[in-house]
Every structure is written in structure tokens, then in C-alpha cells.
Amino acid sequence: MEYRIAVVPGDGIGPDVISETIKVLDKVGEKFGHKFHYTEVLAGGAALDATGVPLPAETLEVCKNSDAVLLGAVGGIKWDTLPGDQRPEQALLGLRKGLGLFANIRPAILFDQLKEACPLKSEITAGGLDIVVIRELTGGIYFGEKGFRDTEMGKAAYDVEIYAEEEVRRIAVVGFETAMKRGKKLMSVDKANILESSRLWRKVVTEVAKDYPEVQLSHMYVDNAAMQLVRNPKQFDVIVTSNIFGDILSDEASMITGSIGMLPSASLREGNFGMYEPVHGSAPDIAGQDKANPMATILSAAMMLRYTFNLPREADAIEAAVSKVLDQGVRTGDIMSEGMQLIGTSEAGRRIREAI
């Protein structure tokens, strides 16, 4: 089979981790008889420097005409002083909206080999952690009306949190469908004691639950959820929540599993199209120094094989290879611990390819 992948290396360590991921995909293609065709495009700070805009029209067009998108990272301190609508992060928002990617799936898995890297007490994490955060990605405060106005207290800025019923319904369905494939337990996180948008969220999610009688649905306020993730993370299996709450909670979930450098993500629309990227940021301070951990991006490619290309054996091969490399006692800097051997980006990629 042949597949077309739009590749967005982006900024900072994005090109470093993308390079190793492409090599891994080529190894998978060689072993299983597939051919991956890559088209590299600009987005983020790299696009700003080259074209003056964070998301060129050509980039969006190439992504739309591909089977999937593989993205490294965008942003960096170099562009931090730009106005909000010109910042590199606008490329992510534009890609999500332009491609209709309304569902962000972030698995937070504590690899047994990395249990020492987890900041929680061992009695809390004994037996490992396996949580999936499903974040609504194209609605809410990030896409609501925003602006400035004058007030008695001086100039004020505002960002509107807004959700329509169908926006909530379709992400709730993703949550329930995911729960059906796992432990049949879904936690919906909101702030329904304060926010009207959250009260609508809870109402719609409860309505959708009627179509999934096998799934145990619970509700939790976001502040309590943030506390419970570090107090008793094992109570969670699948979490579904809004854009801003999901942004925060998925990062928290990633850190309790040892390292944000290990965690992949998938952003999906209806059907099988998706954009795949690591959860970590651009880390410009270590860019080009062979220090970045490529495993989150490589695991994102495994998600691409599983969700978009329907190649579960190939996805399993990548995930097993990452686990084998961790078994070898080698670590990149972000997951380094006493007694382990420090390796760089390229060596991590090479070992994963050999393990496939």
C-alpha cells in the first residue's frame, strides 16, 4: 500500500524528532511492504520567517490533499513578542480548524521501565498508569469571540467560551466509543457549578450516555479533576473534556506518567483523517543538539498507522520496538535516571529501527 503524508517539521526540536520518525516509518514500510510518500511544508515560526504568516495557504492545501499529517512542534521565544494573531501557535489552531480536527486523543501511559521518572509515590502508581484524555479541539474559548474594550478599570481583554450542542455531542461520542474499547468507564470533566457552557456540556454528554448503557459515566469539576489526577490517577480510564480544560489536564496527565517527551497524540475528524504530533513543545534550547527525545513523535506515527491507515500490526511493531529500547537501559536526557546509559536523538531512532 502507498500513503501520502504531509510533514510539518516546525520549530525547535521539531525537525530533529521528525527526521528520526520518518526513518522509522521507512523501516516499517520496508518490513511490511508499504510505501510512504512525504511532502514537507512550513508552519509556525519557520513559516513566519519564510513567508510572513504562521500558516501559508499552500501548507493547508497540501495537508488537505494528504492521507495524514505528521507534525513536530511549533513556537519558541524568538516569536514571543509578536501579536497574538501572528504567533506561531496560530498555525496549530489554523490546521485544526481548517482540517476539521475536532477530537484530540492523548494517551498517558506510564511505561514500567520509566516508573522511577514518575513524580508520584510508587504506591500510587503501582501496576502502571494508562489514561486517555479526549479533548475537544475546535471550539470553546480558543475559537470564541475575542477582543478588547475600554472599562472603568482601564483597557480590558476578553475571550469567550462558547459551545454548541453538536460540538459537544460529537466529542462525547468519541469519548463513549473509546470507553467501549477499553474499560467502559468515562469521566466527563467540566465546571458546571459556574459556567453556562459547562452546564450545556454536561446536559449533552448525559443525553449521549443513553446510547451507551454499558459505559459508566461520571462527571467531575475540573479543579477536582486536576487534584485527583495526582492524588488517585488510577480512578481514571477515559476522560472527555473541553478545549481549554483538556489542554491543561492532558499536560498534567502526561507529566505524572514520567515524561512529556514520551507521549504522542492524534487529532482526528470524522472518518479516518488525522494529524499526529508529540505532546511536548519545541524546546528551542536543545534544538539541533541531538538531545531531544524522538519517542513521542515516533509513537505518534504509530497512532497514525493505527487510526488513519488501519495498520494495527505495524503500529504494534513500533510500540514494541520503543519498549524494547527502554529495556536496553538507554535513555535520552529527559528520562535519564541513575544506572542508565545516556543517548541522543539519532541513537534512539537507530535503536528503535533495529528493534522493529
Where are any strands of DSSP class E within the chain? 2-10, 35-40, 68-73, 103-109, 130-136, 146-151, 154-159, 185-190, 216-221, 238-241, 264-268, 274-278, 330-331, 341-342
Whole-number mean pLDDT of the chain? 94
**130 vs 144: CA distance, rounded Å:** 32
Length, in residues, of the chain: 356
Which residue in 11, 16, 190, 247 is the catalytic one? 247
Give residue 111's pLDDT.
83
Rg (CA), the chain: 20
* pLDDT tier, 122 (very low <50, low <70, confident <90, very high otherwise): confident
User: Is the model more confident about 117 or about 214?
Assistant: 214
- Find the catalytic residue in 16, 27, 115, 142: 142
Mean pLDDT of 270-285: 93
Q: What is the mean pLDDT of residues 312-319?
A: 96
pLDDT average, residue stretch 102-123: 86
Q: Are 231 and 123 in contact (CB under 8 A)?
A: no
The whole-model pTM stands at: 0.88
The predicted pLDDT at position 285 comes to 95
The pLDDT assigned to 115 comes to 81
Structural domains in the chain, CATH included, are: 1-108+261-356 (3.40.718.10), 130-256 (3.40.718.10)
Instruction: Note the pLDDT of residue 306.
Output: 94
**Does residue 223 carry a catalytic annotation?**
yes
pLDDT tier at 127, thresholds 50, 70, 90: confident
Among the listed residues 67, 159, 251, 324, the single catalytic one is 251
Tell me whether residue 247 is one of the annotated catalytic residues.
Answer: yes
Report pLDDT for 308.
95
How does pLDDT run across 128-140, given as a tens digit for each residue? 889 999 999 999 9
Q: 6-22: per-residue pLDDT in tens?
A: 999 999 999 999 999 99
> Is it the case that residue 110 has pLDDT exceeding 90?
no
Marked catalytic residue, from 190, 191, 276, 291: 191
pLDDT at 254: 81
**pLDDT band with cut points at 50, 70 and 90 for residue 251:** confident
Whether the predicted pLDDT of 117 surpasses 90: no
pLDDT (average), residues 24-50: 97
Reply yes or no on whether the pLDDT at 259 is more than 80.
no
Query: Above 80 in pLDDT, residue 120?
Result: yes
Kindly indicate the confidence band of residue 126, based on its pLDDT and cuts at 50, 70 and 90. confident
Predicted confidence (pLDDT) at residue 303 exceeds the cutoff of 90: yes
Residue-wise over 7-23: b if at least 16 C-beta within 10 A, else e?
bbbbbbbbbbbbbbbbb
**Dihedral sign from CA coordinates of 269, 132, 161, 204:** positive
Residue 119 in this model has a pLDDT that exceeds 90: no
Active site residue 142: yes
Query: At residue 266, does pLDDT exceed 80?
Result: yes
Rounded percentage of the chain residues whose pLDDT exceeds 90? 84
| Active-site annotation holder among 211, 223, 285, 316 | 223
Residue 125 confidence class, pLDDT cut points 50, 70, 90: confident
